[in-house]
Structure 1
Amino acid sequence: YRFVSKWIMWNEPNKPTWLKPASAKTYVSQILNPGYRGIKAVNPRARVGGGVTGPRAGKGGVSPVDFIRAMDRAGARLDAYAHHPYPVFPGDTPFEGGCVCETLTMASLERLQLFVGRAFPSARIWLTEYAYQTNPPDVFGVSPNDQARFVGEAAQRVYLAPKVDMLIHYLYRDEPEISRFQSGLETVRGVAKPALAATMLPLAQVARRGMKTSVWGQVRPGDGPQRYVLQRLSGGRWVGVGGAVLTDRRGYLRRSISAPKGAKLRLWYPASRLASPTLVVR
């Protein structure tokens, strides 16, 4: 598979569900380092991610903080540290919640950066699984609209984070068993949730001071600068704010507009006639 340029080694080895016992020493000596050497022997330019840790220890597991430290002591070889910063506390958002503890979620991304930086100073960070489950169908999930909002906020959070190169949403479609992941961009019947449009056109509020609101977003379809319209709901119809403008070459945008608390905004991508979910200014 020479065409594959990025690899991750294993899945959540800090949990006994995936590696028993959940030992960093075993993981490094029998999985990570042999895999690293083998991949580099075939393609020296390939990038190899290690760790791939879950956000918390769980029963019989090892916290990601302890796992990172133990991997360092075991002589881990990697180009990037991979992690799954799923929310685990009620009320967690991409920017708020978490804890000053050994659980590492998106809300505590700076702590992940700190521990990885100490153990592996040259390593990048890949967030290879992340999502919110929705209610319905999972009674412990968030609403579909909140899921869409968190997709946009997570994208902004990672955009701002130094050395974080990757954020992968897990998964595309809900699983049939309610006990498994209901974090899809589509329901089990293939009906799109608002998060699907949020994945294509993430939009997040950066700040608000009185009537002035700053937003961040991205147009992900297409290559190079993309033409978009930032719209505001006024009198029951969507009205463009400033007309059609271009993103930067990577599709990113940041705008400051007049929009008080409660105003409703969205991105409109005319090339695909696609609209982002509505962002309500807070």
Structure 2
Amino acid sequence: MPLRSAFSLAAALLALLACLAPAAVASPQVKVGIADDGILLHSPERAPEVVAAWKAAGIESVRIQVRWAGVAPGELSPTMPLGFHPSDPDDPQYSWKYLDDAIGLVVANGLNPILTVTGSGPLWSSRVPSLGSPRYMPDAAKFGEFATAVARRYGRVASQYLIWNEPNQPLWLQPQQECVTGSRKCSPVAPHTYRALVRAAYPAIHRADPGAQVIAGTLAPRGADPTQRNRPLRPLAFIRAFGCVDEKYKPIRTGRCRGFQPARIDGFAYHPHSIKASPSTPSARTDDANIADLRKLEDTLDGVQRARGFSTPTGAHTPLHLTEFGYQTSPPDPYDGIPVARQSRWLQEAAYIAWRDPRVRTLVQYEWQDEPTKSVGSGRKKYAGWQSGLFYKNGKPKPSFAGFRHPFVADVTTLAPRVRFWGQIRPGRSHRVALQRRSPSGAWVTIARLTTDTRGVLVKTMTLPGRGAYRYRTTDAPSLLEPVVTSDVLTVTPLRRSPSR
């Protein structure tokens, strides 16, 4: 983008947040991440150009799935191949090249890889391979050996490891629960399987990479009622079962909790997708949690931790990593997508919510570009795949791309009758900014001048001058910053809390 003047135009989308609960202290920093294995791992011809674009867009971290079956030998064999040493990354039967290329590209661009060490594994990794399902009861000891190999291979360039992906979903881990024959009464299984995986992986990774952060969770934000063996578990119920506590956080030591030993973790990851609900709309189900429910999620984690259902090295509350978040759009998906302008606004609101929460350390956008739509039937099934990208499949940017680079939000409810303007210029560094309001004549009038922090974050709390449109403009010298230009500026009317709220 060419330079224009010392006073370069930078108008960012101003979005209205409603029903936000106040936070005492904002996060000291939230690293901006991306996850798009479709490009990074499976389109190597495009990956160099796209990863460079990630860097230019201010992305700091890249989540990459290290899938067990994708690198280990004998994917369909019920027995581990002879002569294979699973904890040795240099064993010639491992196939690391595609990951080496992807991780090397990420590191070469100055980005931090977040490695999801996950199944499914090869069939021989199941505790009951005769069932023919690699997702069924993965063997924790064998997983620990695989985690050792991953950390030994990539420990010099990676420091964050996520354990499994969405273990509360049957696509990734089975069985989710066991049910009484002839009855719809079921009890959880997957949380206990998962606890064993974490207990095996945590020490294995730390031995191979002493400076590592081993992050558990990576849960999907919703589940279903426990009436069938492989119905997905609701995430908060999963967390309680993981820690062997009941709904009142009282320890359980019967059944699968007999002889309970807690897992140790360095952080907790979560995928707070809201699907078609705004970032300020709570989940309808008590044990589901989307991005509006971070306080509920944290209360659950804290309750389980107090009951010694898991531990952290320092005993402090576990930090939170939102390692997958996005909104699908219509177009292309008319069923599960939202309008593209709304996607842009809601992604910016989500970024503000993450910044506001002192426990959030990471927010990962899923994904960069829409997956192709795949028709596997009629109606909703005509739009299989995931279309939450900042770009359409044809490479054309959605409005959300500009908003992602330069989010700008007005929180007119948390501090009413005052307003907090929040934004971020990415890539982050210190910038001089003029906050402006459009006058009745159409001219833009500066109402405040400020300097962002070193991560490009601007925060200004003030009495809202009234109904109107707002934007910010960078006032850096041209040599320091290319112009940041967006065309969308919204009119906002300040809200007031009613006495009952």
**Under TM normalisation by the shorter chain, which class is it?**
0.7 to 0.9
Where do 5+ consecutive residues of structure 2 fail to align?
A: 1-153, 177-189, 225-229, 245-259, 306-315, 374-382, 494-501
Higher mean C-alpha displacement, 266-275 vs 17-26: 266-275
Shift of 1:111: 0.5
**Correspondence 1:78-227 to 2 at 5 A:** 78-88=265-275, 90=276, 92-99=277-284, 101-120=286-305, 122-139=317-334, 140-177=336-373, 178-207=383-412, 213-223=419-429, 225-227=430-432
The one-letter code matched in structure 2 to 1:106 is I
TM-score scaled by length of structure 1: 0.88
The one-letter code matched in structure 1 to 2:238 is F
Equivalent residues of 1:136, 1:143 under 8 A apart = yes
Q: Indicate how the Cα distance of structure 1 residues 278 and 76 shifts in structure 2: closer, same or farther if over 3 A, else same.
A: farther
Specify which structure has the higher proportion of strand: 1
* Distance (whole Å) between structure 2 residues aligned to residue 217 and residue 202 of structure 1: 5
* Distance (whole Å) between structure 2 residues aligned to residue 47 and residue 148 of structure 1: 32
The one-letter code matched in structure 2 to 1:162 is P
Counterpart secondary structure, 2:372? coil
Match of 2:198 among 32, 40, 45: 32
Shift of 1:114: 0.6
The one of the two structures with greater contact order (alpha-carbon pairs below 8 A, sep at least 6) is 2
Matched residues, number: 277
Q: Indicate how the Cα distance of structure 1 residues 257 and 64 shifts in structure 2: closer, same or farther if over 3 A, else same.
A: same
Where do 5+ consecutive residues of structure 1 fail to align?
A: none
Shift of 1:168: 0.7
Counterpart secondary structure, 2:263? coil
Q: Indicate how the Cα distance of structure 1 residues 196 and 112 shifts in structure 2: closer, same or farther if over 3 A, else same.
A: same
- Per-residue CA deviations over 1:114-152 (Å, capped at 9, x if unaligned) read 111122353111111111111111113221111111111
The one-letter code matched in structure 2 to 1:7 is Y
2:454 is equivalent to residue 249 of structure 1: yes
TM-score scaled by length of structure 2: 0.51
Q: Indicate how the Cα distance of structure 1 residues 43 and 150 shifts in structure 2: closer, same or farther if over 3 A, else same.
A: same
Shift of 1:235: 6.8
* Distance (whole Å) between structure 2 residues aligned to residue 114 and residue 258 of structure 1: 33
**Correspondence 1:55-66 to 2 at 5 A:** 55-58=221-224, 60-66=231-237
Q: Indicate how the Cα distance of structure 1 residues 44 and 136 shifts in structure 2: closer, same or farther if over 3 A, else same.
A: same
Q: Sequence identity of aligned pairs in percent?
A: 31
Q: CA RMSD in A?
A: 2.5
**Correspondence 1:38-53 to 2 at 5 A:** 38-53=204-219
Q: Indicate how the Cα distance of structure 1 residues 228 and 94 shifts in structure 2: closer, same or farther if over 3 A, else same.
A: same
Tell me the equivalent position of 1:280: 491
* Distance (whole Å) between structure 2 residues aligned to residue 196 and residue 235 of structure 1: 30
Equivalent residues of 2:439, 2:445 under 8 A apart = no
* Distance (whole Å) between structure 1 residues aligned to residue 444 and residue 352 of structure 2: 24
Counterpart secondary structure, 1:241? strand
* Distance (whole Å) between structure 1 residues aligned to residue 318 and residue 417 of structure 2: 42
Shift of 1:213: 4.4
* Distance (whole Å) between structure 2 residues aligned to residue 48 and residue 238 of structure 1: 52
Higher mean C-alpha displacement, 212-221 vs 10-19: 212-221
Equivalent residues of 1:228, 1:247 under 8 A apart = yes
Tell me the equivalent position of 1:67: 238
* Distance (whole Å) between structure 2 residues aligned to residue 267 and residue 138 of structure 1: 33
Counterpart secondary structure, 1:275? coil
The one-letter code matched in structure 1 to 2:457 is Y
Shift of 1:166: 1.1
Q: Indicate how the Cα distance of structure 1 residues 182 and 231 shifts in structure 2: closer, same or farther if over 3 A, else same.
A: farther
Equivalent residues of 1:212, 1:257 under 8 A apart = yes
* Distance (whole Å) between structure 2 residues aligned to residue 48 and residue 136 of structure 1: 38
Tell me the equivalent position of 2:379: none
Shift of 1:212: 6.5
- Per-residue CA deviations over 1:149-177 (Å, capped at 9, x if unaligned) read 11111111111113111111100101112
* Distance (whole Å) between structure 1 residues aligned to residue 492 and residue 465 of structure 2: 7
Higher mean C-alpha displacement, 8-17 vs 68-77: 68-77
Equivalent residues of 1:135, 1:143 under 8 A apart = yes
* Distance (whole Å) between structure 2 residues aligned to residue 211 and residue 110 of structure 1: 24
* Distance (whole Å) between structure 1 residues aligned to residue 463 and residue 284 of structure 2: 34
* Distance (whole Å) between structure 1 residues aligned to residue 483 and residue 456 of structure 2: 16
Counterpart secondary structure, 1:70? helix
Shift of 1:240: 5.4
Q: Indicate how the Cα distance of structure 1 residues 243 and 259 shifts in structure 2: closer, same or farther if over 3 A, else same.
A: closer
* Distance (whole Å) between structure 1 residues aligned to residue 243 and residue 490 of structure 2: 42
Counterpart secondary structure, 2:321? strand
* Distance (whole Å) between structure 1 residues aligned to residue 395 and residue 428 of structure 2: 24
Rg (Cα) greater in structure: 2
The one-letter code matched in structure 2 to 1:113 is E
Counterpart secondary structure, 1:15? coil
